[in-house]
Amino acid sequence: MQDIAKNNFDFIRVLLAFIVFVGHLGYLSTSPSLEFLKHSPVEVGVFAFFIVSGFLIARSYERTSTLKKYVKKRLNRIVPAYLLVVVLCTVLLSLVSTVSFSEYFTSPQTLKYLLWNSVFMNFMAPNLPGVFGNGAVNGALWTLKIEMCFYFLVPVLFLFFGKDNKYRNISLIVFYFLSLVYLNYFEMTDKVEISRQIPGALCYFIGGMLVYFNFEKFIKHKNILFIIAILTVWIDLIFKIKLFSPIMISIIVLYVAYSFKFLNNFGKYGDFTYGIYIFHFPIIRVFATLGLFTNYNPYFMAFICMLVVVGVGVSSWHLYEKRFL
Protein backbone atom coordinates (compact mmCIF):
# COMPACT_ATOMS: atom_id res chain seq x y z
CA MET A 1 0.00 0.00 0.00
CA GLN A 2 1.28 3.45 -0.93
CA ASP A 3 2.64 5.58 1.92
CA ILE A 4 0.26 8.50 2.47
CA ALA A 5 3.19 10.74 3.42
CA LYS A 6 4.88 10.30 0.01
CA ASN A 7 2.95 12.64 -2.21
CA ASN A 8 3.14 15.56 -4.62
CA PHE A 9 1.16 18.14 -2.66
CA ASP A 10 4.04 20.63 -2.73
CA PHE A 11 4.10 20.45 -6.52
CA ILE A 12 0.31 20.69 -6.78
CA ARG A 13 0.13 23.77 -4.56
CA VAL A 14 2.82 25.58 -6.54
CA LEU A 15 1.04 24.64 -9.79
CA LEU A 16 -2.29 25.91 -8.47
CA ALA A 17 -0.69 29.15 -7.24
CA PHE A 18 0.71 29.76 -10.72
CA ILE A 19 -2.64 28.99 -12.36
CA VAL A 20 -4.19 31.70 -10.18
CA PHE A 21 -1.25 34.08 -10.76
CA VAL A 22 -1.39 33.68 -14.56
CA GLY A 23 -5.15 34.25 -14.67
CA HIS A 24 -4.94 37.36 -12.52
CA LEU A 25 -2.04 38.60 -14.65
CA GLY A 26 -4.30 38.46 -17.69
CA TYR A 27 -7.06 40.43 -15.96
CA LEU A 28 -5.00 42.95 -14.00
CA SER A 29 -2.17 43.79 -16.40
CA THR A 30 -4.50 45.87 -18.68
CA SER A 31 -2.29 44.78 -21.58
CA PRO A 32 -4.11 43.50 -24.69
CA SER A 33 -1.09 41.28 -25.40
CA LEU A 34 -1.63 39.41 -22.13
CA GLU A 35 -5.39 38.98 -22.40
CA PHE A 36 -4.97 35.36 -23.51
CA LEU A 37 -3.85 34.61 -19.95
CA LYS A 38 -7.45 35.16 -18.83
CA HIS A 39 -8.13 31.62 -20.02
CA SER A 40 -6.14 30.24 -17.10
CA PRO A 41 -8.68 28.26 -14.98
CA VAL A 42 -8.44 30.44 -11.87
CA GLU A 43 -11.69 29.16 -10.35
CA VAL A 44 -10.57 25.55 -10.71
CA GLY A 45 -7.23 26.48 -9.14
CA VAL A 46 -8.89 28.10 -6.14
CA PHE A 47 -11.31 25.23 -5.54
CA ALA A 48 -8.49 22.70 -5.97
CA PHE A 49 -6.76 24.43 -3.06
CA PHE A 50 -9.85 23.66 -0.97
CA ILE A 51 -9.68 20.01 -2.08
CA VAL A 52 -6.05 19.73 -0.97
CA SER A 53 -6.96 21.41 2.33
CA GLY A 54 -9.84 19.00 2.91
CA PHE A 55 -7.50 16.04 2.56
CA LEU A 56 -4.61 17.45 4.59
CA ILE A 57 -6.63 19.12 7.33
CA ALA A 58 -8.70 15.99 7.98
CA ARG A 59 -5.42 14.10 8.24
CA SER A 60 -3.91 16.76 10.52
CA TYR A 61 -6.88 16.80 12.88
CA GLU A 62 -7.09 13.00 13.07
CA ARG A 63 -3.37 12.77 13.88
CA THR A 64 -3.23 15.64 16.40
CA SER A 65 -3.63 14.58 20.01
CA THR A 66 -5.55 17.63 21.28
CA LEU A 67 -7.83 20.30 19.85
CA LYS A 68 -5.54 22.98 21.29
CA LYS A 69 -2.54 21.66 19.35
CA TYR A 70 -4.60 21.41 16.18
CA VAL A 71 -5.83 25.01 16.45
CA LYS A 72 -2.33 26.27 17.22
CA LYS A 73 -0.86 24.53 14.17
CA ARG A 74 -3.55 25.85 11.85
CA LEU A 75 -3.36 29.42 13.13
CA ASN A 76 0.44 29.45 12.94
CA ARG A 77 0.29 28.38 9.31
CA ILE A 78 -2.22 30.98 8.14
CA VAL A 79 -2.32 34.02 10.42
CA PRO A 80 1.29 35.34 10.62
CA ALA A 81 1.86 35.64 6.86
CA TYR A 82 -1.69 36.86 6.34
CA LEU A 83 -1.22 39.71 8.81
CA LEU A 84 2.15 40.45 7.22
CA VAL A 85 0.66 41.01 3.77
CA VAL A 86 -2.15 43.16 5.21
CA VAL A 87 0.27 45.40 7.12
CA LEU A 88 2.79 45.64 4.27
CA CYS A 89 0.07 46.57 1.79
CA THR A 90 -1.30 49.19 4.17
CA VAL A 91 2.11 50.82 4.58
CA LEU A 92 3.92 50.30 1.27
CA LEU A 93 1.04 51.00 -1.09
CA SER A 94 1.05 54.57 0.17
CA LEU A 95 3.95 54.94 -2.29
CA VAL A 96 1.64 54.38 -5.28
CA SER A 97 -1.39 56.19 -3.88
CA THR A 98 -2.67 59.27 -5.71
CA VAL A 99 -3.24 61.07 -2.39
CA SER A 100 -0.58 62.61 -0.15
CA PHE A 101 1.06 60.66 2.67
CA SER A 102 -0.69 62.79 5.29
CA GLU A 103 -4.10 62.28 3.69
CA TYR A 104 -3.43 58.58 3.18
CA PHE A 105 -2.39 57.78 6.73
CA THR A 106 -5.07 59.94 8.35
CA SER A 107 -7.87 58.62 6.16
CA PRO A 108 -10.50 56.50 7.95
CA GLN A 109 -10.41 54.25 4.89
CA THR A 110 -6.82 53.25 5.67
CA LEU A 111 -7.68 52.33 9.25
CA LYS A 112 -10.76 50.43 8.12
CA TYR A 113 -8.71 48.47 5.62
CA LEU A 114 -6.15 47.52 8.26
CA LEU A 115 -8.71 46.54 10.89
CA TRP A 116 -11.24 44.68 8.73
CA ASN A 117 -8.64 42.82 6.71
CA SER A 118 -6.78 41.83 9.88
CA VAL A 119 -9.85 39.87 10.98
CA PHE A 120 -10.37 38.27 7.55
CA MET A 121 -13.37 40.48 6.70
CA ASN A 122 -11.87 41.67 3.41
CA PHE A 123 -15.22 42.47 1.81
CA MET A 124 -15.89 45.14 4.44
CA ALA A 125 -12.92 47.28 3.31
CA PRO A 126 -11.24 46.03 0.12
CA ASN A 127 -9.75 49.40 -0.88
CA LEU A 128 -7.08 51.85 0.23
CA PRO A 129 -7.35 55.61 -0.50
CA GLY A 130 -6.03 56.50 -3.94
CA VAL A 131 -4.58 53.02 -4.52
CA PHE A 132 -5.21 51.17 -7.79
CA GLY A 133 -7.97 53.58 -8.76
CA ASN A 134 -9.76 52.58 -5.56
CA GLY A 135 -9.97 48.99 -6.83
CA ALA A 136 -9.50 45.95 -4.64
CA VAL A 137 -6.04 45.89 -3.08
CA ASN A 138 -5.78 42.11 -2.77
CA GLY A 139 -8.59 40.20 -4.40
CA ALA A 140 -6.93 36.87 -3.59
CA LEU A 141 -7.55 37.16 0.15
CA TRP A 142 -11.26 36.31 -0.01
CA THR A 143 -10.40 32.60 0.06
CA LEU A 144 -8.53 32.87 3.35
CA LYS A 145 -11.62 33.55 5.43
CA ILE A 146 -13.18 30.45 3.88
CA GLU A 147 -10.04 28.44 4.62
CA MET A 148 -10.10 29.58 8.25
CA CYS A 149 -13.77 28.63 8.58
CA PHE A 150 -12.99 25.17 7.19
CA TYR A 151 -10.23 24.76 9.78
CA PHE A 152 -12.73 25.32 12.57
CA LEU A 153 -15.43 23.30 10.80
CA VAL A 154 -13.36 20.09 10.78
CA PRO A 155 -13.57 19.52 14.58
CA VAL A 156 -17.34 20.13 14.34
CA LEU A 157 -17.67 17.56 11.57
CA PHE A 158 -15.62 15.05 13.57
CA LEU A 159 -17.85 15.73 16.56
CA PHE A 160 -20.86 15.11 14.32
CA PHE A 161 -19.78 11.73 12.92
CA GLY A 162 -17.01 10.72 15.34
CA LYS A 163 -13.48 9.70 14.45
CA ASP A 164 -14.36 6.04 13.88
CA ASN A 165 -18.03 6.32 13.03
CA LYS A 166 -19.10 3.92 10.27
CA TYR A 167 -21.59 6.57 9.12
CA ARG A 168 -18.80 9.07 8.46
CA ASN A 169 -19.02 8.76 4.68
CA ILE A 170 -22.81 9.07 4.70
CA SER A 171 -22.62 12.18 6.86
CA LEU A 172 -20.07 13.82 4.56
CA ILE A 173 -22.07 12.92 1.45
CA VAL A 174 -25.16 14.58 2.96
CA PHE A 175 -23.15 17.78 3.60
CA TYR A 176 -21.71 17.49 0.09
CA PHE A 177 -25.12 17.53 -1.57
CA LEU A 178 -26.41 20.30 0.71
CA SER A 179 -23.42 22.36 -0.41
CA LEU A 180 -24.22 21.59 -4.06
CA VAL A 181 -27.80 22.81 -3.60
CA TYR A 182 -26.48 26.15 -2.35
CA LEU A 183 -23.80 26.36 -5.05
CA ASN A 184 -26.08 25.56 -7.98
CA TYR A 185 -28.96 27.72 -6.77
CA PHE A 186 -26.90 30.91 -6.61
CA GLU A 187 -25.08 30.11 -9.86
CA MET A 188 -28.39 29.61 -11.66
CA THR A 189 -29.67 32.93 -10.29
CA ASP A 190 -26.51 34.71 -11.55
CA LYS A 191 -25.19 35.35 -8.03
CA VAL A 192 -21.82 33.76 -8.69
CA GLU A 193 -19.94 35.64 -5.96
CA ILE A 194 -22.41 34.38 -3.33
CA SER A 195 -22.23 30.84 -4.70
CA ARG A 196 -18.48 30.72 -4.04
CA GLN A 197 -18.79 31.49 -0.36
CA ILE A 198 -18.43 28.98 2.47
CA PRO A 199 -21.51 26.76 1.91
CA GLY A 200 -20.83 26.55 -1.84
CA ALA A 201 -17.10 25.91 -1.51
CA LEU A 202 -17.68 23.23 1.12
CA CYS A 203 -18.35 20.51 -1.47
CA TYR A 204 -14.74 20.79 -2.69
CA PHE A 205 -13.34 20.64 0.83
CA ILE A 206 -15.49 17.61 1.59
CA GLY A 207 -14.27 16.02 -1.64
CA GLY A 208 -10.75 16.06 -0.24
CA MET A 209 -11.96 14.69 3.10
CA LEU A 210 -13.83 11.80 1.46
CA VAL A 211 -10.72 10.72 -0.44
CA TYR A 212 -8.68 10.86 2.77
CA PHE A 213 -11.15 8.73 4.73
CA ASN A 214 -11.25 6.19 1.89
CA PHE A 215 -7.56 6.44 1.01
CA GLU A 216 -6.82 2.71 0.69
CA LYS A 217 -9.74 2.15 -1.68
CA PHE A 218 -8.76 5.27 -3.62
CA ILE A 219 -5.17 4.11 -4.10
CA LYS A 220 -6.30 0.61 -5.10
CA HIS A 221 -8.65 1.89 -7.81
CA LYS A 222 -7.08 5.28 -8.60
CA ASN A 223 -6.48 4.63 -12.30
CA ILE A 224 -10.05 3.68 -13.15
CA LEU A 225 -11.35 6.43 -10.82
CA PHE A 226 -9.22 8.95 -12.70
CA ILE A 227 -10.73 7.93 -16.04
CA ILE A 228 -14.27 8.04 -14.64
CA ALA A 229 -13.56 11.45 -13.10
CA ILE A 230 -12.36 12.94 -16.40
CA LEU A 231 -15.48 11.72 -18.23
CA THR A 232 -17.86 12.82 -15.47
CA VAL A 233 -16.46 16.36 -15.31
CA TRP A 234 -17.29 16.74 -19.00
CA ILE A 235 -20.87 15.59 -18.34
CA ASP A 236 -21.31 18.32 -15.75
CA LEU A 237 -19.87 20.87 -18.19
CA ILE A 238 -22.28 19.79 -20.94
CA PHE A 239 -25.33 20.12 -18.69
CA LYS A 240 -23.96 23.28 -17.02
CA ILE A 241 -24.62 22.03 -13.51
CA LYS A 242 -22.27 21.04 -10.71
CA LEU A 243 -23.35 17.67 -9.43
CA PHE A 244 -20.45 15.25 -9.59
CA SER A 245 -17.65 17.53 -10.75
CA PRO A 246 -16.49 18.71 -7.27
CA ILE A 247 -15.86 15.16 -6.06
CA MET A 248 -14.47 14.16 -9.47
CA ILE A 249 -12.05 17.10 -9.51
CA SER A 250 -11.03 15.94 -6.03
CA ILE A 251 -10.19 12.53 -7.47
CA ILE A 252 -8.19 14.12 -10.31
CA VAL A 253 -6.20 16.39 -7.96
CA LEU A 254 -5.45 13.59 -5.53
CA TYR A 255 -4.60 11.20 -8.36
CA VAL A 256 -1.85 13.64 -9.33
CA ALA A 257 -0.82 13.86 -5.67
CA TYR A 258 -0.21 10.11 -5.53
CA SER A 259 1.23 9.48 -8.99
CA PHE A 260 4.45 10.64 -10.71
CA LYS A 261 6.86 9.77 -7.90
CA PHE A 262 9.61 11.95 -9.41
CA LEU A 263 7.70 14.97 -8.04
CA ASN A 264 7.79 13.74 -4.42
CA ASN A 265 10.72 15.97 -3.44
CA PHE A 266 9.42 19.13 -5.08
CA GLY A 267 9.11 20.99 -1.78
CA LYS A 268 12.52 20.16 -0.34
CA TYR A 269 13.61 23.81 -0.52
CA GLY A 270 10.55 25.14 1.28
CA ASP A 271 6.82 25.75 0.98
CA PHE A 272 6.59 28.99 -1.01
CA THR A 273 3.01 28.55 -2.20
CA TYR A 274 1.26 30.56 0.47
CA GLY A 275 3.57 33.55 0.03
CA ILE A 276 3.14 33.44 -3.76
CA TYR A 277 -0.62 33.28 -3.38
CA ILE A 278 -1.15 36.08 -0.87
CA PHE A 279 1.35 38.53 -2.40
CA HIS A 280 0.84 38.08 -6.16
CA PHE A 281 -2.32 40.17 -6.54
CA PRO A 282 -1.00 43.51 -5.17
CA ILE A 283 2.35 42.98 -6.93
CA ILE A 284 0.62 42.61 -10.31
CA ARG A 285 -1.46 45.71 -9.57
CA VAL A 286 1.64 47.74 -8.71
CA PHE A 287 3.23 46.73 -12.02
CA ALA A 288 0.04 47.77 -13.83
CA THR A 289 -0.26 51.06 -11.91
CA LEU A 290 3.32 51.97 -12.84
CA GLY A 291 2.50 51.26 -16.49
CA LEU A 292 5.13 48.56 -16.78
CA PHE A 293 2.93 46.22 -18.84
CA THR A 294 1.89 48.94 -21.30
CA ASN A 295 5.05 51.07 -21.60
CA TYR A 296 7.47 48.17 -21.97
CA ASN A 297 7.42 44.74 -23.58
CA PRO A 298 4.45 43.09 -21.82
CA TYR A 299 5.86 39.56 -22.10
CA PHE A 300 9.18 40.58 -20.59
CA MET A 301 7.46 42.50 -17.79
CA ALA A 302 5.15 39.54 -17.13
CA PHE A 303 8.27 37.41 -16.69
CA ILE A 304 9.84 40.01 -14.37
CA CYS A 305 6.58 40.19 -12.40
CA MET A 306 6.64 36.41 -12.02
CA LEU A 307 10.23 36.54 -10.73
CA VAL A 308 9.28 39.22 -8.21
CA VAL A 309 6.29 37.21 -7.00
CA VAL A 310 8.40 34.06 -6.64
CA GLY A 311 11.15 36.03 -4.90
CA VAL A 312 8.69 37.50 -2.42
CA GLY A 313 7.15 34.07 -1.82
CA VAL A 314 10.54 32.47 -1.17
CA SER A 315 11.59 35.34 1.12
CA SER A 316 8.30 35.20 3.01
CA TRP A 317 8.86 31.52 3.73
CA HIS A 318 12.51 31.63 4.75
CA LEU A 319 12.53 34.95 6.58
CA TYR A 320 9.13 34.84 8.22
CA GLU A 321 6.64 32.00 7.82
CA LYS A 322 8.71 29.00 8.87
CA ARG A 323 9.63 30.72 12.15
CA PHE A 324 6.07 30.09 13.33
CA LEU A 325 5.93 26.39 12.40
Q: How do residues 68-127 score in pLDDT, each as one tens digit?
A: 999 999 999 999 999 999 999 999 999 999 999 999 999 999 999 999 999 999 999 999
Instruction: From first to last of the 325 residues of the chain, give the pLDDT tens digit.
Output: 567 878 899 999 999 999 999 999 999 999 999 999 999 999 999 999 999 999 999 999 989 889 999 999 999 999 999 999 999 999 999 999 999 999 999 999 999 999 999 999 999 999 999 999 988 999 999 999 999 999 999 998 888 776 666 678 888 999 999 999 999 999 889 898 888 899 999 999 999 999 999 999 999 999 999 999 998 888 877 777 788 889 999 999 999 999 988 888 887 778 899 999 999 999 999 999 999 999 999 999 999 999 999 999 999 999 999 998 8
CA gap 76, 70 in Å, rounded? 10
CA gap 105, 148 in Å, rounded? 29
CA gap 101, 146 in Å, rounded? 33
- The amino acid present at 217, given as its one-letter code, is K
* 29 φ/ψ angles, rounded to the nearest 5 degrees: -70, -25
C-alpha closest to that of 247 among 260, 236, 263:
236
CA gap 183, 195 in Å, rounded? 5
CA gap 253, 247 in Å, rounded? 10
pTM of the full predicted structure?
Answer: 0.93
22 near 40, Cβ under 8 Å?
Answer: yes
CA gap 201, 53 in Å, rounded? 12
Helix (H, G, I), strand (E, B) or coil at 194: helix
117 near 125, Cβ under 8 Å?
Answer: yes
Give the residue ranges of DSSP H helices in 214-244: 215-220, 222-239
Helices 67-92 and 273-289, interaxial angle, to 10°?
A: 20
